[in-house]
Chains A and B, each alone.
Chain A
Amino acid sequence: MADVKKIATRESYGNALKDLAEEFPNLVVLDADLAEATKTGIFRKAYPDRHIDCGIAECNMMGVAAGLSLVGKIPFVSSFAMFAAGRAYEQVRNSVGYPHLNVKIGATHAGITVGEDGATHQCNEDIALMRTIPGMVVMVPSDDVEAKAAVRAALEYEGPVYIRFGRAAVPVINDKPDYKFEIGKGTVVRPGKDVTIVATGICVDSALGAAEKLAADGIDAEVINICTIKPLDEEIIINSAKKTGKVVTVEEHSVIGGLGSAVCDCLSEKLPTPVKKIGMQDVFGESGSAGALVAKYGLDADGVYASVKAFV
């Protein structure tokens, strides 16, 4: 098998900010002493005057972004997901969400693929936190192509947006000539008829790998990539669930409040369907390499395959 190109979505984020800076002259980027890690440093190198390091003070940073947005800037605020969505949650809710300001949050190092830093820095709760805020758009890109498209879409959209990026390099899976991105639209990345696997972020690749293994067992899985968790593309999920009658969700996030919960919210009201949620099963992560952690918590292709196999 040929080597698959791998890029961390945080890297895509930094590159997208730089590439879009000319087109969006009001774009400014805020960071909290993590510009090298979040990759906003790529933007800073090209546009030092438009990069604002707020120091290690995420709550203030979120408020400063709110203020900037009120005088015509489009701030992209960056930190690790733990601090952007976690520590500054109430600032996001009250200073950004409630006034529905045009603030974009680019949160990196989400989920367990943070790796060696361990549980304190592995945020498996951010999707849940952000999707409870009225009017907040929540996106989890699956690769480089989608991450860049999501950054552009966020800049073109008027209102608060949270985008979740990862630390670890992940395969590029969306580099197709007909690739289109739209906020709120999911994509069937592999058609099938026996079971629906709805995945987000890095787990889309795992789901595709699992689908190949399932095919060898005679199980034809449909894989749906949900980049926008809120607003959720309910239509694509309902249509698939009608066809397959069984749904599995896969996310690098707690099974409480994330993609799995969003899918269940939709199906329980509109098309009651058995759902199996794959993700962090109400536990904290731990130190280890990203690959080892993903395998241990059953989020790699083998893990997803085993869970789906047991479910169907």
Chain B
Amino acid sequence: MNNLELQKTANEVRKGIVTAVHAAKAGHPGGSLSAADVFTYLYFEEMNIDPKNPDQEDRDRFVLSKGHTAPGLYSALANRGYFPVEDLTTLRKLGSYLQGHPCIHIPGVDMSSGSLGQGISAAVGMALGAKLGGKDFRVYTLLGDGEIQEGQVWEAAMFAGFRKLDNLVVIVDNNGLQIDGPIDKVCSPYPIDEKFKAFNFHVINCNAHDFDELRAAFKEARETKGMPTAIVVHSIKGKGVSFMENQCGWHGKAPNDEEYAIAMADLEKIGASLN
């Protein structure tokens, strides 16, 4: 896909996020929107996957370690054809397969996740398994910048760096906000890039909302041998919805009907500007 197509797709993914969370009357729009471009790039450009054959053995894997942003993942999967986009409005409802946090039984979801710090370890295990089995699939995992306060993240990073898992890409969505406030006011994980460097990662910083930069970063990751790559993507929480951008309060809150209308109008406007 070219950048314009990716931008249009990402905008559709954002609409799906807002629609799903609005319908659920609960969920996490802020971090889903900040990562929407990353989800889009991974599922529409980067990863070797086939929505018609979601369990194919040699597919690339993705683990959403920051599992609360399931609406972002689900919207990307739905738009990619894993399941109907209409199903997004069943999110979090009793009887729906779209659980509040990613569940392995959902088409396209490679690992259940949501308890922070755990997804990265599973991704590391998959990458190690690929190496042990002589397989050349790649493994991607997305973490929140608040999530990296969890000690398990660094256990996993130490292991991945030591094992030279160059088939692993750890993406940190650095939107700067967590539930209780700015990450550097709650318990600062900065400098994020230097920490991953110290754990023997190749580290790339890039703009989370610029597809040229994302393209270059994932290419560089693929070309990096002998060590895993961490891409710290600098993002805007709530990106694309005017009143949600950079607002801590939209971490885990659903828009009401009025707010939903404004959010969708914002996204329609962005969509129109891309035509």
Contact = CB atoms under 8 A, between A and B. Distances in A.
Contacts of B126: 67-68, 70-71
B159 A60 contact: yes
Interface string B109-145: 0111011011111111111111011010000000000
Interface residues of B, number: 33
A98 B118 contact: no
Contacts of A17: none
Task: Name the residue in B115, B125, B158 with the highest tally of chain A Cβ atoms < 10 Å from its Cβ.
Answer: B125
A67 B123 contact: yes
Interface in B148-169: 151-152, 155-156, 158-159
Given A91-B118, A99-B112, A64 B128 contact: yes
Contacts, number: 106
B258 interface: no
B179 interface: no
Contacts of B130: 71
Given A64-B121, A66-B122, A95-B118, A54 B110 contact: no
A233 interface: no
B104 interface: yes
Nearest to A63: B121
B159 A57 contact: yes
B155 A94 contact: no
Contacts of A42: none
A28 interface: yes
Interface in B20-75: 57, 61, 63
Interface string A59-97: 111111111111111010000000000000011001100
Task: Name the residue in A65, A66, A69, A98 with the highest tally of chain B Cβ atoms < 10 Å from its Cβ.
Answer: A66
B128 A67 contact: yes
Interface of A: 28, 49-50, 52, 54-55, 57, 59-73, 75, 90-91, 94-95, 98-99
9 contacts: A52-B128, A57-B158, A62-B121, A67-B111, A68-B132, A70-B110, A71-B135, A72-B57, A95-B115
A60 B152 contact: yes
A65 B123 CA distance: 10
B124 A67 contact: yes
A75 B155 CA distance: 19
Contact of B125 (A55, A66, A90, A94): A66
A70 B155 contact: no
Interface of B: 57, 61, 63, 103-104, 110-112, 114-115, 117-130, 132-133, 135, 151-152, 155-156, 158-159
Nearest to B110: A70
A59 B125 contact: no
A21 to B, nearest CB: 14
Contacts of A99: 103-104, 111-112
Contacts of B128: 52, 64, 67-68
B129 A68 contact: yes
A67 B112 CA distance: 11
Contact of B156 (A49, A63, A70): A63
Contact of A71 (B119, B121, B133, B158): B133
A64 B236 CA distance: 31
Contacts of A28: 132
Given A55-B155, A68-B128, A69-B125, 19 more contacts: A28-B132, A52-B128, A55-B158, A59-B118, A60-B155, A62-B121, A63-B120, A63-B124, A64-B156, A66-B111, A67-B111, A68-B132, A70-B61, A70-B126, A73-B132, A95-B111, A95-B118, A99-B103, A99-B104
A237 B156 CA distance: 44
Contact of A64 (B103, B125, B133, B151): B125
